[in-house]
Structure 1
Amino acid sequence: MKITGYRTIRTHRDWGRPVGDVNGYIASGITEVSIVVVETDEGVDGVALGSDHDIERIFPALEGQDPRGVSALYDRMLAHVFKAGHNGATFGGIATLDAALWDIKAKLVGEPLWRLLGASDRFVPGYASGLDIALTDEQLAHFYSVMAEHGFASGKLKGGRDLEADLRRLRIIRDTLAPNSSHPTLMLDANESWNLKQAVRYVTAVEQELDLAWIEEPLRRWDAHGHARLSQSVKAAVATGENLTGLEQFRSLFDLGSVDVVQAGAVWGVTHFLRLAYAAHARDLPISPVGLTSNPAVAHAAAAIPNHLTAEVQDLGAPFGVDVDEEYADGGIVLGDRPGAGLSIDEAAIRSVQHEGDWLQAAGPHVRPARAGLTLDRELSASSPAFAPRGA
């Protein structure tokens, strides 16, 4: 069996609400979604959602190879981009191809990916995450009430600008999820917007009012020393790692005891998640995948590892023209029995409807404000210089 080619398809996701974080947001709530299909000489295609960045350069590492050797092919892709490096967006292209290979492997044996990977339970515990920085209090309550109807008892707020607003909005999440738990679990995500002392003061102030399970990405992703000092200064666990592109980038975080909840971006694929999960497990650390709406295959991997804590669920729908064999119930993801990663696509429907939408816009959450992290203030309004648009 050989890999013969690939094709890419662009569709969109309509989130039905503005989505973003402290760095910015997408007002339209419409974002582009890339689908990659890996083709074989036996007619079994692998389908994956994620990034198609740099795939033209990466694919020669796979062409003519047997798709069943997924782990070896993952290392082959890393080696293929050795000189320029696999970091950043290139890692996303590798990840999407990797997820498509896992889809092929599971389809060939007629099993859902979760079973192929060794899971005995199709249920993946999760928490609700609204990407909710731009939502009004009423919209915030509505989103979490819908998630509560699906059994979720944990929620994560995008915040970090205004202490009083974050406290008020965390209480809204707590109260909305209360029907499912007498003590709903709360998390706060600052998306790398703080410096160390600001983080200590802000989290300490929150903890005087509310119990935080974790503070997520409080500092820059590579600041192992800062995360270690913060973890020692607050009660909340420090969660980070979703933007690290490669197992090697976690070394200093592990060595210095900088991370309490290891996070992996689902957009970085199945093999990366599995390897990181076992590296964390060797250190008695839990792992939590971020953004399963970006790569459903990672939910299957989460079901199969021993130290999965909880998975981020940002949306109950799917991209246009994409059907995912899973349900949301009892506060988590219930994976289906469809062979592979459970994805099917309607290419004709996707071709007939096109919407413009991109995460990478100047006002969006993937563009870091020029003054982010350069303040000692505990409260930052939307008009603060730290969060002003470039050129403002």
Structure 2
Amino acid sequence: MKITGYRTLSSRHHWRRAVGDVNGHIEDAVTDVPILIIETDEGIEGVGIGSHADLDRLFTAVLGEDPRAVSALFDRMLAAVFKSSHSGATYGGLATIDAALWDLKAKLAGEPLWRLLGGRDRFVPGYASGLDIALSDDEIAGFYGEFADRGYVAAKLKGGLDPDADLRRLRVIEEVLARNTTRPGLMLDANESWQVKQAVRYVSALEEHVDLLWVEEPLRRWDAVGHARLSAGVRSAIATGENLTGVEQFRPLFDAGAPDIVQAGAIWGVTHVLRLAHVAAARDLPISPVGYNANPAVAAVMTAVPNHLTTEVQALEFAPGVVVDHEFADGGIVLGDEPGGGIRIDESAIERASTGDGWRNPAGPHHRPQRAGLRVVLDGVER
């Protein structure tokens, strides 16, 4: 079998709510869902979702190759772009090809990906994450209530501007999840918006009133020493790593004794998450994928590694035309038996979803505010 080509599609995910974080938000959010389909000379196709970045340049490394050599092809793609670097957006394209190749490999084996990778239990523990910085208290209660109905016991709030507001909103989530447990798991995501001492002050203020499981991305992603200092100064665990594109980028964090919880962006693909999980396990650290909805195939990896903690789930539905053989129940993700990564594409449904500005909206969360990390007073208002 040989890889003969690829084609791309894009669906649109209608979130039915405002979506964002401390850096910005999008009202009534609609975001692009890039889809890649890899073609073979035997007519079997592999599906990956995540990114269309640099596909032409990356695909030369796998064209004509046997798709079953997934790990070797991952390294072959890395080698093909090593002069200009695989980091950043390029890694997204590489990871989407990687996900499609794993889908192909599992289909050829006639197994769901989680079985092919060696998983025993189809259940993946998860937590709810509303990308909820712009939601009212009532909207927060409604969103997390849907997850509580599915048995979820943990949730992550987007915050970092105003500790009083964050405490109030954490209490709302806690009350909703209390229907399933007496001690809901509460996390706070600051999306790289603080400096070290600013983070210590902020988290310590919250910890006087609430037990935080972790604080996520409190500092800039490359600040290894800062994350270690912060971890020593607060009770909650420090979680970071979702925006690091390559396992080698974690080396300074590990060398500095940070983070406490290793995070992997689901968008960075199956091989990345699989390798990172084993590197973290060698250090007795748990791993937690971020953004499952951006690449559901990554959930399969979590059934096959020894150190999975929990996986972020941002929505209980997928973009039009993206059909995923997973269920949300019992506080997590229940993987199905369909051969491959569990993703099928309905192209006619995709054609009907074509509105919205997506993440390119300049007010959205992918644009870092000019004063991030430089606020003297933490009350949610810049002066």
TM-score under structure 2 length normalisation: 0.99
Q: Structure 1 residue 47 and structure 2 residue 50: aligned?
A: no
Contact 1:216–1:239 (CA under 8 A) maintained in structure 2: yes
Contact 1:197–1:376 (CA under 8 A) maintained in structure 2: no
Q: How far, CA to CA, are the matches of 2:176 and 2:124 in structure 1? A: 22
Q: SS state of the match for residue 156, structure 1?
A: strand
Q: Structure 1 residue 13 and structure 2 residue 13: aligned?
A: yes
Contact 1:198–1:377 (CA under 8 A) maintained in structure 2: no
Contact 1:195–1:375 (CA under 8 A) maintained in structure 2: no
Q: Structure 1 residue 377 and structure 2 residue 377: aligned?
A: yes
In structure 2, relative to structure 1, the CA distance for the partners of 1:179 and 1:223 (3 Å cut) is same
Q: How far, CA to CA, are the matches of 2:100 and 2:302 in structure 1? A: 17
> Shift of the alpha carbon at 1:352?
4.0
Q: Which runs of 5+ in 2 are unaligned?
A: none
Q: Report the equivalent of 1:248.
A: 248
Q: How far, CA to CA, are the matches of 2:170 and 2:351 in structure 1? A: 41
Q: How far, CA to CA, are the matches of 2:62 and 2:275 in structure 1? A: 20
Q: How far, CA to CA, are the matches of 1:55 and 1:302 in structure 2? A: 27
Contact 1:201–1:378 (CA under 8 A) maintained in structure 2: no
Q: What does the per-residue CA deviation read over 1:240-287, in whole Å, with 9 as the maximum and x for residues that have no partner?
A: 000000111100100111100000000000000011000000000000
Q: Report the equivalent of 2:153.
A: 153
Q: Report the equivalent of 1:335.
A: 335
Q: Report the equivalent of 1:68.
A: 68
CA RMSD between the two structures: 0.8
Q: Report the equivalent of 1:114.
A: 114
Q: Report the equivalent of 2:365.
A: 365
Contact 2:266–2:292 (CA under 8 A) maintained in structure 1: yes
Contact 1:154–1:177 (CA under 8 A) maintained in structure 2: yes
Q: How far, CA to CA, are the matches of 1:342 and 1:256 in structure 2? A: 38
Q: Report the equivalent of 2:181.
A: 181
Contact 1:188–1:214 (CA under 8 A) maintained in structure 2: yes
Contact 2:293–2:313 (CA under 8 A) maintained in structure 1: yes
Could you list the runs of 4 or more consecutive aligned residues of structure 1 that deviate by over 4 angstroms after TM superposition?
none
> Shift of the alpha carbon at 1:57?
1.1
> Shift of the alpha carbon at 1:79?
0.5
Contact 2:29–2:358 (CA under 8 A) maintained in structure 1: no
Q: SS state of the match for residue 225, structure 2?
A: helix
How many residues are aligned here? 383
Q: What does the per-residue CA deviation read over 1:100-147, in whole Å, with 9 as the maximum and x for residues that have no partner?
A: 000000000110000000000000000000000010100000001111
Q: Report the equivalent of 2:24.
A: 24
> Shift of the alpha carbon at 1:376?
3.5
Q: How far, CA to CA, are the matches of 2:164 and 2:352 in structure 1? A: 46
Q: Report the equivalent of 2:190.
A: 190
Q: How far, CA to CA, are the matches of 2:315 and 2:277 in structure 1? A: 24
> Shift of the alpha carbon at 1:379?
2.5
In structure 2, relative to structure 1, the CA distance for the partners of 1:353 and 1:157 (3 Å cut) is closer
Contact 1:34–1:52 (CA under 8 A) maintained in structure 2: yes
Q: Structure 1 residue 162 and structure 2 residue 151: aligned?
A: no
Counterpart of 1:196, as a letter, is V
Contact 1:264–1:273 (CA under 8 A) maintained in structure 2: yes
Q: How far, CA to CA, are the matches of 1:153 and 1:28 in structure 2? A: 26
Q: Structure 1 residue 38 and structure 2 residue 21: aligned?
A: no
Counterpart of 1:166, as a letter, is D
Contact 1:221–1:243 (CA under 8 A) maintained in structure 2: yes
Q: SS state of the match for residue 75, structure 1?
A: helix
Q: Report the equivalent of 2:79.
A: 79
Q: SS state of the match for residue 225, structure 1?
A: helix
Counterpart of 1:334, as a letter, is V
Q: Report the equivalent of 1:232.
A: 232
Q: How far, CA to CA, are the matches of 1:75 and 1:377 in structure 2? A: 47
Q: Report the equivalent of 1:389.
A: none
Q: How far, CA to CA, are the matches of 1:219 and 1:377 in structure 2? A: 17
Q: What does the per-residue CA deviation read over 1:331-386, in whole Å, with 9 as the maximum and x for residues that have no partner?
A: 000000000011111112222442233213210000000110113433332xx15x
Q: Report the equivalent of 1:390.
A: none
Q: How far, CA to CA, are the matches of 1:125 and 1:206 in structure 2? A: 26
Q: Report the equivalent of 2:58.
A: 58
Q: SS state of the match for residue 289, structure 2?
A: strand
Q: Which runs of 5+ in 1 are unaligned?
A: 386-392
Q: How far, CA to CA, are the matches of 2:154 and 2:165 in structure 1? A: 19
Contact 1:199–1:230 (CA under 8 A) maintained in structure 2: yes
Q: SS state of the match for residue 160, structure 2?
A: coil
Q: What does the per-residue CA deviation read over 1:194-242, in whole Å, with 9 as the maximum and x for residues that have no partner?
A: 1111100000000000000000000000000100000000000000000
Q: How far, CA to CA, are the matches of 1:350 and 1:145 in structure 2? A: 29
Q: How far, CA to CA, are the matches of 1:14 and 1:358 in structure 2? A: 9
> Shift of the alpha carbon at 1:48?
1.1
